[in-house]
Structure 1
């Protein structure tokens, strides 16, 4: 009989096997094995180790490794002809996506990092993706994304220079009054416009430092992006302020940037003068006189208020053409005033906040360059040149530099005649109006001009048959400049006076108190009594004032010449028909006579822009009459009208056809 062996010891129940937990439960407990089981009614308190970095992961965020692989596959499949994943990649940066919440900032950052790693693929073949990246709304995001995006941008333009212009254009467009990336993004805090501008400037500065060719590309783009002259004051002010900030960290572009601003300012300046002349012609001087009062409250906001409304928007009555033209002119005046005030402030920082003579000389050099290349050749610039007028008077050396430049151009026979004539007007106007221009400069300029006039007189008089502006324009331009300087600075042409000389003695007419520097009286006499007859051709207003002052001071008497000139008509035939001269009528003769007089334009005439005029206070010499002289002005003008000649005596000129 077989027996069954039993195990030794007591019989015990078998140990039960542990239950296998579901994988999902395992994953939830991985981070904290010792955590108590969850209660269906109460959430357990969780404590965190302060030494461990904790980040809340949104359920729809993609892991960086997954995004990197997705980007790699998109480029690989596109190379094989399948663009489905590539199109999805483009959609990541599309600004037309309706559901912003579908893509978190963290995921977008992962895509941007992944593209940076595959920057070699962002070439011309994938230009559409690059353009979407450039056009994406990146400026309104958090700082960590800005850093990643700028790194991608730098890698793209470094590896593929073909996109450098597009990148710079995008950046410059965000320095305007309405930056494309100014929209507030969903789930993001608002970003102020100054912050946007600051981010753009930092990016441009980084690219300029990284890529040598970026400066040349940027310079061209700035020209194209500059607001049109018809754009609002606000558009101009914001863009110019950003340009000046750019010039601060890009010294290699400083001259070009300031030159661009000056060039556009001159266009506005000239347009205002043209519009004023047209308005005066059609409507009358009374309306022109009211132009400055159209907007008396010209206030330029220092900081952008964020308002979408334009400060220059006025209520317009389209039916009233004259009123509308007046408003348009007022807008341009306001715009010009604001821009000049900004430029005055910009240059003032150089002169006031730094003591470096090198910096001062550099600023004057830039202003002189703008004067020679832009302002001087432009007829009718009215206010822009006062930048140089003010800052040239900051030191005797700068005064000498500006005067020397004008003298050199005025007497340079290789320069165009119009430029030389304009330079003479600037020279005379600066010397006459600049309150800090010293007496020795006045005397030197007076001597330069009289010496040249004497040379021209000797050359022209032997063949002269009378006054002729066309043939002897150089002589008349310099003569008018000399008369203008004398009217303002005659005191500087006197020799030293006795200590007991009283200013009140100036009242006497032909007294012997006035002792003139050597050659002054002789030079004036030689010029005004010349056969070239400059008193007939020069501006009547300047000639009249010179005659009064010269007579009062006893230096030269010219009233008999003025009386004679009333009977002298400057004849110029307009043309001929079928070989016969056109018949001259009284109206055509009067019109022709006006054309034969020099323009009385002097570039530093009184400055009336309401905001920026404060900069030239203390630099500008206002007209001050001679005591006792102005009292007789009214009676003299009445006498002149009564003595008008009844007949004209023609004095032949070189342009007559009478042979």
Structure 2
């Protein structure tokens, strides 16, 4: 009698798998019962080992699930090791009957033994990071495999939250704990973000907490992607791309890779980023802004399709196909954003999302130093990124954002550093928001000037009646920042504020001359570029004359005494306007149509204004600025993109 090897069939052919076949445990109910009673631990341990060490095919898993569901009542803490191992079996990618049976099992066990919720949510949320092994880094998110997995997981999560509402706190905590590290691949982070946004669809009560998690992780990417690093890497790639063309007899891909010292991030349509963290942030911002449009727009698919789509991660094409065009074409025509006739906004949902985002902005973004791009999520909402052709409801969002910033800036209960940051945000938004109504701009300038004049009136005399010493200016950082914000807005927006006689009369009512000549001397601590351009504008409009004050400030070299009895000079305050620049290439198509470029004055400067820069409207000024736009990021001249913004810092 011939003997057949354990890996041979009767016909002599080898089995395709090199793993030992999984044996379904027999009498699972009796095995668990005996273990609970302390009668037979060996069979229980063998069963756990089989589940842990071997792959289970769909048919075997389906049979196991049915048997385990029949003994849910005894799956208490005494057999928690068995339950943990069973929960770890991959299931979301399997056939429909297995997925359906597993979802029923999960609901049964969590309903009967709610202390398994933590481990269950940990395993479920971890699947949000599961990337399709056959997908490359640049393939669209999600693939069919990733979508199938996310759909199955979200359906069971929705059912658990409906049956056990208090489990939502555990879910939020797991979403925070399982969030990928900032240096993980961009695809993994984008897929995870898409799943978090999907939870917000069917569980709106968690929207605020999940937004906080998402924005905080974006901030980590943002502060670690400074403009100078992005610029350096983009310019290095430009140079080395040119060098690679001179190398012969080498494969093009391997040549570029060797020159860069590592694999390149392939640019889809030339819109990718060389900087790895900036590239990840760019993809996540596109995903987030596309999601906001999908949520806020009413012209989505039919209701029966919408019910299905709520539980899987949508591709960008499904979220908002109108934005998947060339960024420069999008920037040239605002029609895709503002003029679509069939765009109807669900303002109730939009306002809810905006309010939560505004709360997150106040808590996380506003106090953060060194944030470059995340704040543009708020800019997109407040500047008119979500609007339709039938009404101007978005103006209320803009007004609400301006009010928030001014309340922060004018509140004496807020920390000075937070008030200064709010003033910088306010000035930058009022200057850069392209569609902002002039009425909001004038109202903000009026409130700002009223506060400045009141401050000057209170500080004009000390208790002894003497004028306030100039060395005390260092204690008036909020006042100086408010003045700098005012100077910046007027220098930037003077073309819009001086079109008619009524506009000139409005500017005259601001009494800028008193601010310029105040004893606190805000021009002395103002960055030179802002001061020069403001001086030129107000002189040409005959609103105030700053030349004398600026000349006196330039001659002022007398040191002042500090608390440490050493001699020092009054420092020039560094003003950072957060919306002065956007360097991410993919998501730029959302921002460009809303972003106002600086427009210089058409009038000739006064020859008596010696403090004004002779070439202030030229490219030389930008070349000296540390904030100029890298050539690779925007393939246009810098004067065409940002003009000569008075907010740019001067190195001289």
Relative to the length of structure 1, the TM-score reads 0.70
Residue matched to 2:594:
619
Residue matched to 2:469:
465
Residue matched to 1:51:
none
Are 1:268 and 2:243 counterparts? no
Equivalent residue for 1:83, pick from 29, 34, 41 = 41
Residue matched to 1:317:
261
Residue matched to 2:488:
484
- Alpha-carbon separation, structure 2, partners of 1:338 and 1:128: 40
CA pair 62-422 structure 1, distance change in 2 beyond 3 A: closer
Q: Secondary structure at the match of 1:243?
A: helix
CA pair 314-540 structure 1, distance change in 2 beyond 3 A: farther
CA shift for structure 1 position 92: 4.3
CA pair 542-345 structure 1, distance change in 2 beyond 3 A: same
Contact 2:93 2:148 in 1 (8 A): no
Contact 1:173 1:179 in 2 (8 A): no
Residue matched to 1:378:
368
- Alpha-carbon separation, structure 1, partners of 2:67 and 2:233: 64
Residue matched to 1:214:
167
What pairs up with 1:26-105 in 2 under 5 angstroms?
67=26, 69-94=27-52, 96-97=53-54, 105=58
Stretches of structure 2 that go unaligned for 5 or more consecutive residues are 1-20, 136-142, 242-256, 263-271, 299-343, 385-393, 463-467, 617-652
What pairs up with 1:510-659 in 2 under 5 angstroms?
515-517=504-506, 519-520=508-509, 523-569=511-557, 571=559, 576=564, 581-582=565-566, 596-629=571-604, 637=613
Contact 2:273 2:279 in 1 (8 A): no
CA shift for structure 1 position 636: 5.3
- Alpha-carbon separation, structure 2, partners of 1:158 and 1:180: 34
CA pair 623-179 structure 1, distance change in 2 beyond 3 A: same
- Alpha-carbon separation, structure 2, partners of 1:616 and 1:112: 50
Contact 2:130 2:146 in 1 (8 A): no
What pairs up with 1:280-359 in 2 under 5 angstroms?
287=232, 290=235, 317=261, 330-353=275-298, 355-359=345-349
CA shift for structure 1 position 211: 1.4
- Alpha-carbon separation, structure 2, partners of 1:544 and 1:180: 57
Are 1:245 and 2:245 counterparts? no
CA pair 62-177 structure 1, distance change in 2 beyond 3 A: closer
Q: Secondary structure at the match of 1:437?
A: coil
Q: CA RMSD in A?
A: 3.4
Contact 2:532 2:613 in 1 (8 A): no
- Alpha-carbon separation, structure 1, partners of 2:258 and 2:121: 35
Which protein has greater RCO, CA pairs closer than 8 Å, 6+ apart? Answer: 2
Relative to the length of structure 2, the TM-score reads 0.71
CA pair 624-267 structure 1, distance change in 2 beyond 3 A: same
Residue matched to 2:266:
none
- Alpha-carbon separation, structure 1, partners of 2:591 and 2:65: 53
CA shift for structure 1 position 470: 2.4
- Alpha-carbon separation, structure 2, partners of 1:315 and 1:117: 62
CA shift for structure 1 position 434: 1.0
CA pair 317-491 structure 1, distance change in 2 beyond 3 A: closer
CA shift for structure 1 position 137: 2.6
Q: Secondary structure at the match of 1:610?
A: coil
Q: Secondary structure at the match of 1:618?
A: helix
Q: How many aligned positions are there? A: 505
Residue matched to 2:87:
134
- Alpha-carbon separation, structure 1, partners of 2:22 and 2:261: 57
CA pair 408-249 structure 1, distance change in 2 beyond 3 A: same
CA pair 415-114 structure 1, distance change in 2 beyond 3 A: same
CA pair 469-260 structure 1, distance change in 2 beyond 3 A: farther
Contact 1:383 1:607 in 2 (8 A): yes
CA shift for structure 1 position 153: 1.6
CA offsets, 1:453-481, max 9 Å, x none? 11111122213111544211121011011
Equivalent residue for 1:392, pick from 370, 379, 382 = 382
Contact 1:263 1:374 in 2 (8 A): yes
- Alpha-carbon separation, structure 2, partners of 1:265 and 1:227: 11
- Alpha-carbon separation, structure 2, partners of 1:269 and 1:153: 38
CA pair 61-225 structure 1, distance change in 2 beyond 3 A: closer
